[in-house]
Chains A and B, each alone.
Chain A
């Protein structure tokens, strides 16, 4: 980093470079925040942000400056970030992309938000996402983005006619367009990895239970997991280290494992690393351009000393029906609290209690959410529970066992994040199955609760980014980030920026 960073290039700096410049007092948190707020306004037509509050962000920045003046060495002191609008925040409204929560203000911060603030981060605003994190393209957001009166799809900075992926589409688009150096996301069935891949950035979903779910608007409790999106593996390590840790008083599913420095072995050599390539991830449905990009990246790994090992994850295809039973089942119950009684949307006119419920939920939820509530209600119903939900849970365990089998033969698993590059906005039209099928490579790891990440692997069809997915065994985040970092030292895909940004 140059010692006199021109203020008009702050968006080129990584999270760690910004943090260092702030610690060295070469930048103030306030000027950094002002810079990114201006940049966010300049590019608000990407529809990446759902809420900003410039005064709130400035106030946070001033506090960071005061701490910096006091010698704070907090790892993210003064670094501006933005949060997926699934995380509840005190300083900003939280909608989860839904009309149901229009104008909702949480009285508390999500644990992840709180931990990042403790690490010194300044919140720039809330990022667009699919409604209740249900979607693979961010086309299901029902809330008008900042600067607009009506909901509109988030644009992929690489081709603004294309989707950024989902459900953390706003997070991925904002990071790819350098509107923020890093962002939070959540991943239930691929919602960090897939948009990171579609937007050519780096994202990691840790082992289920690493990060507290307290304050994440719940979609599917047994799958939801928070993680960071940034441009580099190094930044992801820095952010993830700040986000994770036990939360025994608030989340019983958060693991009792102390926070770690996930960047501690970033530079370790990859000699002898066994990278497993699941046969099922390289089958016919894979777009040739994606395949070529992945193959090229795998060759880089061989050059770095890794060994490629063929493996099998035989139940990969089953992950789709299993996921689309379990996730909607949990969602149908998690979303019951949105009933118009206590908070959020309530229908204006209604005849009685039942009418109030019906109208409130009919008005408040979008089509995809309703679809999943109906699927979930159906599979939990008396007489269907055993055939669907219980059966799905059994296969889920078998999928997890398949991974353990595979990890006997390899240290990491690699493959594409998605079968294709980002599709065009509206291209899947009214075909939810097309979206569901596109999740095929991210779902197995989610069902097993394994850590997984997306690393820029070049470009495929239409010059769109391709993401390499790396899946590790439980608690192997540091190893994943190490593998990603070494690749990024050998390649420059993660440094490319979309034209105009």
Chain B
């Protein structure tokens, strides 16, 4: 395994991902976390930091942290500490953010994924619970900036990796895998547009073997496409700076999707002294081992384990297994179709192929597929027993999708798609096609493969698609030999 170099530089990337937890109420108050409400309608006295208010830990948020730790093979701290990160900003009502600093709840662990054919593993440093800030609305609001505190106090798990990634493609693959895991285990809705899954990438470059270069942090990459663009731009920029003899200064940068460029928003000199100290309003977060075990028992199979099982039990290629375990719903669909049809590879091809194509085209979730797994499996059985061809099966699928019919065998009949498995009938058609297409026959004999394909097409056409294409071409070759 070699490290990809760009103009002789090795790229080093680490990620910090703010995962918004899918709890109903905030991390330290009972206000709702629902997205999109009118400004300041979902902020209670605690979120507003009114005098005398105090934080009370939301158990559900802790449950999310436990699930993540279990999913990533991390150590779950039986006792972790909340600290105050002190700084002034108008959308930070208390003047400090409650976060975990020295002792986070999730420690270590790793995320493994396929990058092309290669298995990659990114080690995690930690994942800690913290509260989100509100939002400053700088568009003119009665001549001033407005503050919306609906988001203030929303629970976050900040997931921090080691600087283990060596390319933008690997970084994006990591982010996709993490996204898959947090949505799979149900701790995050994964909505990147709404900010539920916000990635910051720490990017640096160095000559191979040299110590780590100075990193710049790209903030708030809110789509996978932006992520790749932003990191690629940043890598090029840093290499050019170094090649031009300038040193990289540690900075926080923002990606502008319109220009495709990153730009520094603050440099290290501005970095504040956050005066972290343990929050005296919150006792240490104590997690009983029984809680962890109960959570483990209720977790269900994780995507990587499921993918391994698909390879072992169904003989699928690792690639198929990885794709099929992108979401719980897709995996369940596949497994139902595979088991009912007894054709796992065929099921895999169809779920990843025709079904995925149609779903993508209509931007539907697999849960909303008009064609159910049982219907698909009936179709797959008919392909497998050679009742219909793959092409004919697509027509049946189309009819199922549009609702023209619901029962596979009935559709095969009504659409007249039953494959011609009667050798005598096929011979007649082949002979007729040879007779009627003397030009093509002559060209084929002169060595033109295209002409042969035209002949097969004619046979299929004459059979109204019912001929088995393989049988048809075998017979043609025999007759023309």
A residues adjacent to B (C-beta < 8 A)? 87-88, 94, 96, 101, 104, 106-108, 110, 213-218, 220-222, 248-253, 329-330, 332-333, 335-337, 339, 341-343, 353, 357, 377, 380-382, 385, 389
Which of A336, A382, A385 lies at the interface centre, i.e. has the most chain B CB atoms within 10 A of its CB?
A: A336
- Asked if B275 CB lies within 8 Å of chain A CBs, one says yes
B361 to chain A minimum Cβ distance, whole angstroms, is: 48
Residue of A88, A104, A339, A380 touching B275 (CB-CB under 8 A): A380
Q: Which of chain B's residues has its CB closest to A326's CB?
A: B280
Q: Which of chain A's residues has its CB closest to B85's CB?
A: A333
- Asked if B283 CB lies within 8 Å of chain A CBs, one says yes
Which residues from chain A contact B57 at a C-beta distance below 8 Å?
Answer: 252
The verdict on A253 contacting B52 (CB below 8 Å), with A337-B95, A353-B90, A382-B273 known, is: no
Name A's interface SS.
loop
Which residues from chain B contact A253 at a C-beta distance below 8 Å?
Answer: 54, 280-283
* Contact between chains at A329 and B277 (CB < 8 Å): yes
- Asked if B153 CB lies within 8 Å of chain A CBs, one says no
11 sample A-B contacts, Cβ–Cβ < 8 Å, listed by A number = A101-B51, A104-B51, A107-B50, A214-B53, A251-B56, A252-B55, A329-B277, A342-B147, A343-B51, A380-B277, A382-B273
* Contact between chains at A342 and B277 (CB < 8 Å): no
- Asked if B84 CB lies within 8 Å of chain A CBs, one says yes
* Contact between chains at A333 and B95 (CB < 8 Å): yes
> In the docked arrangement, what's the CA distance between A248 and B56, Å?
8
Which residues from chain B contact A330 at a C-beta distance below 8 Å?
Answer: 280
Which residues from chain A contact B90 at a C-beta distance below 8 Å?
Answer: 339, 341, 353
A312 to chain B minimum Cβ distance, whole angstroms, is: 29
* Contact between chains at B88 and A357 (CB < 8 Å): yes
Residue of B49, B52, B88 touching A342 (CB-CB under 8 A): B49
Which residues from chain B contact A341 at a C-beta distance below 8 Å?
Answer: 90, 93, 147
* Contact between chains at A333 and B56 (CB < 8 Å): no
> In the docked arrangement, what's the CA distance between A251 and B28, Å?
11
> In the docked arrangement, what's the CA distance between A335 and B275, Å?
14
Residue of B45, B51, B52, B86 touching A333 (CB-CB under 8 A): B86
Q: Which of B143-202 contact A (CB under 8 A)?
A: 147
- Asked if B48 CB lies within 8 Å of chain A CBs, one says yes
B residues adjacent to A (C-beta < 8 A)? 30, 45, 48-57, 84, 86, 88, 90, 93-96, 147, 273, 275-277, 279-283
* Contact between chains at B50 and A333 (CB < 8 Å): no
> In the docked arrangement, what's the CA distance between A374 and B181, Å?
45
A120 to chain B minimum Cβ distance, whole angstroms, is: 23
* Contact between chains at A217 and B45 (CB < 8 Å): no
B80 to chain A minimum Cβ distance, whole angstroms, is: 14
* Contact between chains at B94 and A337 (CB < 8 Å): yes
Q: Which of chain A's residues has its CB closest to B54's CB?
A: A251
Residue of A96, A336, A353, A385 touching B51 (CB-CB under 8 A): A96
* Contact between chains at A339 and B95 (CB < 8 Å): yes
A416 to chain B minimum Cβ distance, whole angstroms, is: 29
> In the docked arrangement, what's the CA distance between A96 and B52, Å?
11
A343 to chain B minimum Cβ distance, whole angstroms, is: 7
* Contact between chains at B277 and A88 (CB < 8 Å): no
* Contact between chains at A88 and B51 (CB < 8 Å): yes
> In the docked arrangement, what's the CA distance between A339 and B48, Å?
12
Residue of A88, A214, A333 touching B84 (CB-CB under 8 A): A333
A96 to chain B minimum Cβ distance, whole angstroms, is: 7
> In the docked arrangement, what's the CA distance between A169 and B211, Å?
62
* Contact between chains at A213 and B275 (CB < 8 Å): no
Which residues from chain B contact A333 at a C-beta distance below 8 Å?
Answer: 84, 86, 95-96, 275, 277
> In the docked arrangement, what's the CA distance between A217 and B49, Å?
11
Which residues from chain A contact B45 at a C-beta distance below 8 Å?
Answer: 107-108
A252-B281, A336-B95, A341-B93 known, 15 other contacts, Cβ within 8 Å: A214-B53, A221-B280, A249-B30, A250-B54, A252-B54, A252-B56, A330-B280, A333-B277, A336-B88, A336-B96, A341-B90, A342-B49, A342-B147, A343-B48, A389-B277
* Contact between chains at B50 and A106 (CB < 8 Å): yes
Q: Which of chain B's residues has its CB closest to A95's CB?
A: B51
* Contact between chains at A250 and B51 (CB < 8 Å): no
Which residues from chain B contact A357 at a C-beta distance below 8 Å?
Answer: 88
* Contact between chains at A252 and B282 (CB < 8 Å): yes
> In the docked arrangement, what's the CA distance between A222 and B277, Å?
12
* Contact between chains at A110 and B283 (CB < 8 Å): no
Which residues from chain B contact A252 at a C-beta distance below 8 Å?
Answer: 54-57, 281-283
The verdict on A88 contacting B52 (CB below 8 Å), with A333-B95, A339-B95 known, is: yes
A53 to chain B minimum Cβ distance, whole angstroms, is: 19
B284 to chain A minimum Cβ distance, whole angstroms, is: 10
Which residues from chain B contact A108 at a C-beta distance below 8 Å?
Answer: 45, 50, 52
The verdict on A336 contacting B86 (CB below 8 Å), with A108-B45, A221-B281 known, is: yes
* Contact between chains at A94 and B51 (CB < 8 Å): yes
* Contact between chains at A380 and B86 (CB < 8 Å): yes
Which of B49, B50, B275 lies at the interface centre, i.e. has the most chain A CB atoms within 10 A of its CB?
A: B275
Q: Which of chain B's residues has its CB closest to A377's CB?
A: B275
Residue of B50, B56, B94 touching A343 (CB-CB under 8 A): B50
Which residues from chain A contact B273 at a C-beta distance below 8 Å?
Answer: 381-382
The verdict on A217 contacting B283 (CB below 8 Å), with A249-B56, A333-B95, A336-B95 known, is: no
Which residues from chain A contact B276 at a C-beta distance below 8 Å?
Answer: 380, 385
Top 9 closest pairs, chain A to chain B, by CB: A336-B95, A221-B280, A380-B275, A222-B280, A215-B52, A337-B49, A88-B52, A217-B51, A382-B273
> In the docked arrangement, what's the CA distance between A329 and B275, Å?
10
The verdict on A381 contacting B52 (CB below 8 Å), with A333-B86, A337-B94 known, is: no
Q: Which of chain B's residues has its CB closest to A89's CB?
A: B52
Q: Which of chain A's residues has its CB closest to B94's CB?
A: A337
Q: Which of chain A's residues has its CB closest to B91's CB?
A: A341
> In the docked arrangement, what's the CA distance between A108 and B29, Å?
15
> In the docked arrangement, what's the CA distance between A381 and B276, Å?
8
B138 to chain A minimum Cβ distance, whole angstroms, is: 11
Which residues from chain B contact A106 at a C-beta distance below 8 Å?
Answer: 50-52
Which residues from chain B contact A221 at a C-beta distance below 8 Å?
Answer: 279-281
Which residues from chain B contact A213 at a C-beta distance below 8 Å?
Answer: 52, 54
* Contact between chains at A342 and B56 (CB < 8 Å): no
> In the docked arrangement, what's the CA distance between A335 and B49, Å?
11
Which residues from chain A contact B55 at a C-beta distance below 8 Å?
Answer: 252
Which residues from chain A contact B147 at a C-beta distance below 8 Å?
Answer: 341-342
Which residues from chain A contact B53 at a C-beta distance below 8 Å?
Answer: 214
> In the docked arrangement, what's the CA distance between A335 and B51, Å?
9
> In the docked arrangement, what's the CA distance between A341 and B277, Å?
24
B404 to chain A minimum Cβ distance, whole angstroms, is: 57
B95 to chain A minimum Cβ distance, whole angstroms, is: 2
A2 to chain B minimum Cβ distance, whole angstroms, is: 41
Which residues from chain B contact A380 at a C-beta distance below 8 Å?
Answer: 86, 275-277
Which residues from chain B contact A329 at a C-beta distance below 8 Å?
Answer: 277
Q: Which of chain A's residues has its CB closest to B149's CB?
A: A342
Which of A337, A343, A377 lies at the interface centre, i.e. has the most chain B CB atoms within 10 A of its CB?
A: A337
> In the docked arrangement, what's the CA distance between A357 and B88, Å?
9
A477 to chain B minimum Cβ distance, whole angstroms, is: 21
B184 to chain A minimum Cβ distance, whole angstroms, is: 32
Which of A101, A215, A220, A381 lies at the interface centre, i.e. has the most chain B CB atoms within 10 A of its CB?
A: A215
Which residues from chain B contact A96 at a C-beta distance below 8 Å?
Answer: 51
> In the docked arrangement, what's the CA distance between A96 and B93, Å?
19
Which residues from chain B contact A382 at a C-beta distance below 8 Å?
Answer: 273, 275
Q: Which of chain B's residues has its CB closest to A96's CB?
A: B51
Which residues from chain B contact A377 at a C-beta distance below 8 Å?
Answer: 275
B271 to chain A minimum Cβ distance, whole angstroms, is: 10
Which of A107, A252, A353 lies at the interface centre, i.e. has the most chain B CB atoms within 10 A of its CB?
A: A252
* Contact between chains at B56 and A250 (CB < 8 Å): yes
B28 to chain A minimum Cβ distance, whole angstroms, is: 9
B412 to chain A minimum Cβ distance, whole angstroms, is: 63
Residue of A218, A220, A222, A339 touching B52 (CB-CB under 8 A): A218
B403 to chain A minimum Cβ distance, whole angstroms, is: 51
Which of B50, B96, B147, B282 lies at the interface centre, i.e. has the most chain A CB atoms within 10 A of its CB?
A: B50
Q: Which of chain A's residues has its CB closest to B56's CB?
A: A252
Which of B54, B88, B276 lies at the interface centre, i.e. has the most chain A CB atoms within 10 A of its CB?
A: B54
The verdict on A342 contacting B275 (CB below 8 Å), with A107-B45, A110-B52 known, is: no
